[in-house]
Amino acid sequence: MAFHPLLVELGVEELPPAAIDRLSDALADGIRQGLNDAEVRFGEVTAYASPRRLAVHISELADKQPDREIERRGPALAAAFKDGQPTKAAEGFARSCGVDVGDLIHLETDKGTWLGYREQQQGDAIEQLLPAIVDKAIAALPVPKNMRWGALRTEFSRPVHWLVMLYGERVIEAETLGLSADRLTYGHRFHAPAAISLAHADDYLDALENAYVLADRQRRRERIREQVLAEAEVQDAQAVIDDALLTEVSGLVEWPVALTGSFDERFLEVPPECLISSMKANQKYFHLLDEHGKLKPLFITIANIESHEPERVIDGNEKVIRPRLADAAFFYDVDRKTPLAERQAGLDSVVFQQQLGSLADKARRSAVVARAIAERIGGNSDHAERAALLAKCDLVTEMVLEFPELQGIMGCYYARQDGEPEEVAQALYEQYLPRFATDAIPQTRTGLALALADRLDTLTGIFGIGQRPTGAKDPFALRRAAIGVLNIMVKAELDLDLRELLNLAAEQHQQLPKAEGLVDEVLDYMLERFRAWAQDEGIAVGSYLAVRARPVTKPLDFARRMRAVHGFAARDEAAALAAANKRVSNILSKQTHDRNISVNAELLQENAEIALHRALAARREEVVPLFQAADYSAALDCLAALREPVDTFFDQVMVMAEEPAVRDNRLALLAELQALFLEVADIAELQQ
């Protein structure tokens, strides 16, 4: 068996930049899966891609499948012969194998003896296997939107122009998407448009680089990053390299060349976020900051050509960006003529959700909840109510209509201009924080109140009309909203009761079709998000389950308990006490005795139960103040000392004594033990 490298390349017209990485990885995965299914041995698989090509290189690929022994099982021996003669079942099986009955063998199994057949099957050559494997991989690509071209009925994301399939030095005869495989590839559209004949699969990267194409995606990205940083250094500036923009720009060029342009300083009067959004969204430019972190009137563009007259390329980009920035300046000037507060009426005509009313309705509901939250967390309730009423007003401004990603940011700017209190203005930006799990939370009390109120309104409203997220479908981003609420309450250390706030938020809605049981449903959904939250924090699921088993409705308290249980679980005593609590839970669940009965010390007979009773009394006195202070870690550390008396109790005491009074007294003792731990969590769940 010999091994040679393989190269597969599909040449296309410019692909959507956002889809290139996904398509490239999918092609590599498809070919890898096809080879695995065919049981062909292969080495490292590398995906390459540029705007005009998708390629896969395999370092070592076997030239054939391994030979295999095929075993087939036929009828049971008892049914294969009658009076020493083969039955129709045996003859039919032999025919299906292409042999005579005498060529069949006996297969011994634990269920008896069967008629069988074995043969050596020669593995297919890689030349026979690859066409179907590659064709299937290309057909399965997650193409965003197919198109046709010319008179062909072939469909793909963009018109296809060439297909390379080289196994070592040999071309694999194959067809896909109407193309016949060859060894011809093509370089840069302008610098090297002529065909390039590849002599060997390993020549690919070097041949393309000589033709002004960097096919290695990561190398192309790093080339762009290095050039942008170098250009910024020349300008004595700091380049802001957004990873998403870097990936998108990398999907637009094959031979990146960074160039620096400038724009009129008068545009700096516009909020920098507006200019940056315009440069990034429309022109894919990288912006530059000075030593104070302020925007400089410069930008870096990535050309797809090494021009002999770069100043002409720069001049063209400067001419294009000028009207874009002028539009941003115009929108800003127009928007400032109307105070945010006067835009509230416009929200009545903007639908939030058909059954839940307009954005104005949402703002009014959120204002009530935000005011109540502000009162509870020591904030300014008037500011919270005002911020909630203004929160969505920037959505109807010209700037946000043009650049939706500026929502909240522009509201903050416009509120400051209108003379609103600084905390109100800041809250308009902070209402969207955190945008993801590791993002910052609001820093002002007003921002905290608004961010919570807005999310709670959305959660209760959408659940209330029966549109709970299912599977991968979450059009209103309720998972993110729920995790945002938890993060805010925990990170800001807000001692708020989630059930109480959900009740308040639900009361602001009118005629919700799923109002019955709504608060319990939303509460369960939100607390369930703690499972993923715990995993992100490195907390085992058992610690989550232990706290989830208790009626804890304050997220901050929930998180503190979870962390305490997680720390307790690492102690040597944890496993034994968890097992003991599980045993106690099982015993008590099967009994019908009165749980309100207290332990009668006079009925304690065994030394072990007397010792446990005394240990419980001593520990209770120590831990009650700790429970009150929510110092759950210290409380569990204290309760860990119960391991020895608990173990001794179960070793030496018969709980289910014959005498009812003694039995009930021992059950009451176990109930006291369980109750102490349940003040924190049900540690019996640590066994799961």
Average pLDDT over residues 232-244: 95
Condensed to tens digits (0 to 9), the pLDDT of residues 602-623 reads 778 888 888 888 888 898 889 8
Token code pair at residue 4: 């040679």
Instruction: Tell me the percentage of the chain whose pLDDT exceeds 90.
Output: 69
CB distance 119 to 160 below 8 Å: no
Average pLDDT over residues 378-382: 97
Condensed to tens digits (0 to 9), the pLDDT of residues 301-327 reads 999 999 999 999 999 999 999 999 999
Nearest CA among 206, 192, 204 for reference residue 165: 204
The pLDDT, as a whole number, for residue 537 is: 86
pLDDT, mean over the chain: 92
The pLDDT, as a whole number, for residue 128 is: 93
The confidence band for 530, taking pLDDT boundaries of 50, 70 and 90, is very high
Q: Tokens 């999310």 — which residue?
A: 455
Cα separation, 442 vs 447, in Å, equals 5
User: Who has greater pLDDT, 649 or 471?
Assistant: 649
For residues 436, 442, 448, 453, the Cα torsion angle rounded to the nearest 10 degrees is -40
Average pLDDT over residues 46-74: 91
Average pLDDT over residues 105-122: 84
The pLDDT, as a whole number, for residue 289 is: 97
Token code pair at residue 396: 């109807």
The confidence band for 394, taking pLDDT boundaries of 50, 70 and 90, is very high
Residue 662 has pLDDT above 90, yes or no: no
Detail the DSSP E strand segments found in 336-445.
351-353, 357-358
The confidence band for 168, taking pLDDT boundaries of 50, 70 and 90, is very high
Look up residue 590 and give its amino acid.
K
Residue 170 has pLDDT above 80, yes or no: yes
pTM value? 0.80
347-528, CATH topology level = Hypothetical protein af1432 (1.10.3210)
Residue 593 has pLDDT above 70, yes or no: no
Q: Which architecture, in CATH terms, is 3-65+125-210?
A: 2-Layer Sandwich (3.30)
User: Which superfamily does 569-687 belong to?
Assistant: Isoleucyl-tRNA Synthetase; Domain 1 (1.10.730.10)
| Domains in the chain: boundaries | 3-65+125-210, 68-121, 219-335, 347-528, 569-687
Contacts 24+ apart (CB under 8 A), 575-580: 575/686, 575/687, 576/643, 576/646, 576/647, 577/639, 577/640, 577/642, 577/643, 577/646, 577/677, 577/683, 578/683, 578/684, 578/685, 578/686, 578/687, 579/687, 580/643, 580/646, 580/647, 580/650, 580/673
Query: 491 burial class (0-12, 13-18, 19+ CB within 10 angstroms)?
Result: middle
Residue 69 has pLDDT above 80, yes or no: no
